[in-house]
Amino acid sequence: MKHTLCLLFLLSTFFLKAQAPVGDLIIRNGTVLTITKGSLDKTDILVQKGKITGIGKQLKAPAGIREIDATGQFVMPGIIDAHSHIAIDAVNEATNPITPEVKVGDAIDPFDLSIYRALAGGVTTSHAMHGSANAIGGQCQTIKHRYGVLDPSAYKFEGAARTIKFALGENPIRVHGEGRGVQPRTRMGVEHVIRDAFEKGLAYKEKWATYEADKKKNPDIAPPLYNERYQTMADILDGKIIIQCHSYRADEILMLMRVLNDYGVRRITFQHVNEGFKVAPELAAFGAMASVFSDWWAYKFEVYYSTAYNAAILTRNGVVTSINSDSGELIRHLFHEAAKTQRYGNLSDDEALALITINPARQLGIDTKVGSIEIGKDADLAIFSAHPLSIYAIPQLTIVDGIVRFDLAHDPADMRLDIDPEEATPTYYGQEDVDGCMRDTEFMFSHRH
């Protein structure tokens, strides 16, 4: 019965495209971790039409509004994952070293159970990224975790910055140089391939500018061919897209900053960036940001000389840093991943929580909407049983746009939305996994590495 009702509800919300569903509620008496404005004891948060409209003690609430008692609990902004591959059906268009024209936003999978599991870890927004097979991969999509809504386009985070995946080092080298026998086969080649794309983007831009100018004189003049690939490069050159660059080694990080410097591109977040700590001063000087793992290392050679203190060193050097998951498993406990920076580098509570809230929001160009608890921001909130940086904290309730999308007290085991009518019994999956970043490149390798 519950399922049926649930399904009916879902169907009724399908394709309410223009405005994503929003809700009203009030959270009473919680410890509010605002991130930007300190922690507030025994404080209420009023939410109307999906926005935070009040923060304070014993707020007056409209009659009939849903009240959530958070006494003894901790309320923080919905967690933001700056690097994931959930909720998309295609990750890598690994057939060309340069594919800036593809958009993972075209392949949103509203049925991906990972969305719900991320919500169950307090994560309300994630950055669904193209993989790292190509030196310039596809455009990424920032999504809100409105699990239950079936319209794929309703997952897109309205007003989020356009972002695009770049990738340096082993992955593009393995896929193209070793796998397909085309450049890049080395880190020199990676630089060349990227410069080449920028050059072609410039030439393309110029060709069209010339055409548009000539067209004023002769409206019948023949147009040049349209090329979505180089049009996208032109958009990067015009500063319309934030680069999100998969990178590990210090040398390649410096290389890309030099290249971007040459083309006047400033907006970049380095992803993974395991050796970012080695060039933290340069990153800070460039204005580049960093989105890192809490402690992943040694899974391949380019991450052998890593340290779990990376986030702390970058933060201390003034680099806007986030901690990401890159994993459907890890995304469920990003609050714990952030907490590790207290062991590895002694970050304060606010600094640690900023790594999974306001900082990733800055990196994705959504910091005016989410990432902290402030009046006027989206009501994306996560409620925990204990301080979220404690190992004993258990997510209780996750709210997106004022709608409760995860509630531990009403958490059915089976949250699948897409039911295979031919699946006779629940399928068991072992723990063998593939690297999320390299999904859709399996056709080239027999093994995950």
Partner 1 sequence: MKKNIFAISCFILLTSALGLQAQQVEKSTYGTFALTHASVETVTKGRLENATVIIRNGIIEAVGPDVAVPADAQVIDCKDLIIYPGMIDGGTRLGLQEIESISVTQDYDEIGELTPEMDALTAVNPNSVLIPVTRVSGVTSVITSPSGGLFPGTAALINLQGYTPEQMYGGFKAMTINFPSSGKRGRYDKRSEEEVKKDGDKAVKKLNDTWDRVRTYAAIDSATAGKAAYNPELAALVPVLKGEMTAFIEVNKEDDILAALRWIKKQKIKAVLTGVAEGWRVADSIALAGIPVITGPVLAMPTRDTDHYDQAYKNAGLMQKAGVKVALRTGEAENVRNLPFNAGFAAAYGMGRDEALRAVTIIPAEIFGVADKVGSIEVGKKANLFVSTGDPFEPATAIKHLFIDGWNIPLESRQTLLYEEFLQRTPGVSAQPLPGKS
Partner 2 sequence: MSRLFLFCVFLLSLPIAPCSLLLAQPVADDLPQITGCIALINAKVVSAPGKAPLVSTVIIRDGLITQVGVNMKIPADAYRIAADSFYVYPAFIDAFSSTGIKEPEGEGGQQGQGNRGGQKQSFDAEGNLPLEDAGITPYKRVRATFDPGDKSIADWRAQGFAISHVVPKGKMIPGMGSIIVLSGKNADQMLWKEDVSMYSQWTGAGGGYPQTVIGVMAKWRELYHNATLAVAHEASYTNATLVSRPIYNQAHQALMPVVKKEMSLWFRAPKMKDISRALTMQSDLGMKMVITDAEEAWYMEDKFKSGAVPLVLSLDLPEDKSEKKAKEAEGAKEAKGPEGPGQDGPGQPGPKAVKAEGVKEAEGADASATSTPLSTSTLSSRDSTQTKAIAVDTSKIDPEKEAFEKKRAESLKAHQDQAGILAKDGIAFSFGTMSVKTGDFSKNISTMIEHGLSAEKALSALTTQPARLLGIEKYCGTVEAGKMANIIVSTKPMFEKDASIKYMIVEGNLYEYETKEKKDKRKGKSDEAPAGILTGKWSYAIEVPDQKREGTFEFTSEGGELKGTMTSEDNASGNDQLADIVIDGTSVSFTFDFDMGGQMIQLEFDLTLKGETFDGTVSVGDFGTFPITGNRTSKPN
Interacting partner of 379 out of partner 1, partner 2, none (Cβ under 5 to 8 A depending on kind): none
**440 binding partner 2? (CB under 8 A):** yes
Q: Which of 422, 429, 431, 447 binds partner 2 (CB under 8 A)?
A: 422
User: By rule CB under 8 A, what string of x and - marks binding of each residue 144-173 to partner 2?
Assistant: ------xxxx--------------------
Tell me the per-residue interface mask from 21 to 60 with partner 2, x by CB under 8 A, - otherwise. Answer: ----------------------------------------
Which 167-226 residues touch partner 1, going by CB under 8 A? 170, 195
One character per residue 390-419, x = contact with partner 2 (rule: CB under 8 A): ------------------xxxxxxx-x-xx
Among 213, 226, 428, 447, binds partner 2 (CB under 8 A): 226
| SS3 of 10-78 | HHHCCCCCCCCCCCCEEEEEEEEECCCCCEEEEEEEEEECCEEEEEECCCCCCCCCCEEECCCCEEEEC
Which entry of partner 2, partner 1, none binds 13, CB below 5 to 8 A by partner kind? none
- Minimum CB separation of residue 338 from partner 1 in Å reads 9
What's the closest the beta carbon of residue 357 comes to partner 1, in angstroms? 17
- The length of the chain in residues reads 449
Closest CA to 149 of 1, 328, 21, 5: 21
Mark residues 341-360: x for contact with partner 1 by CB under 8 A, - for none: -xxxx---------------
Amino acid at 356: I
Report yes or no: 122 and 339 within 8 Å, Cβ to Cβ: no
Task: Using the Cα atoms of residue 112, residue 114, residue 120 and residue 122 in order, give the sign of their dihedral.
Answer: negative
Q: Is 90 in the site for partner 2 (CB under 8 A)?
A: yes
Q: How many CB atoms are located within 10 Å of the residue 93 CB?
A: 19
Residues 375/52, Cβ–Cβ less than 8 Å = yes
**Which of partner 1, partner 2, none interacts with 299 (beta carbon under 5 to 8 A by kind)?**
partner 1
Rounded to whole angstroms, the Cα distance separating 115 from 113 reads 5
Nearer to partner 2, 16 or 285 (CB): 16
261 binds, among partner 1, partner 2, none (CB under 5 to 8 A by kind): partner 1
- Name the residue among 77, 122, 81 with its Cα closest to residue 271: 81
Question: Helical H runs in 277-396?
Answer: 280-286, 310-316, 334-343, 349-354, 358-363
Which of partner 2, partner 1, none is residue 339 near (CB under 5 to 8 Å by kind)? partner 1
The closest alpha carbon to 438, from 98, 193, 113, 93, belongs to 93
Q: Region of 377 please: left (phi>0), alpha (psi -120 to 50) or beta.
A: beta
- Using CB under 8 A as the criterion, which residues of the chain lie in contact with partner 2 when the complex forms? 1-4, 7, 11, 14-15, 89-90, 92-99, 101-104, 106-107, 109-111, 130, 138, 150-153, 179-182, 218-223, 225-229, 408-414, 416, 418-426, 440, 442-444
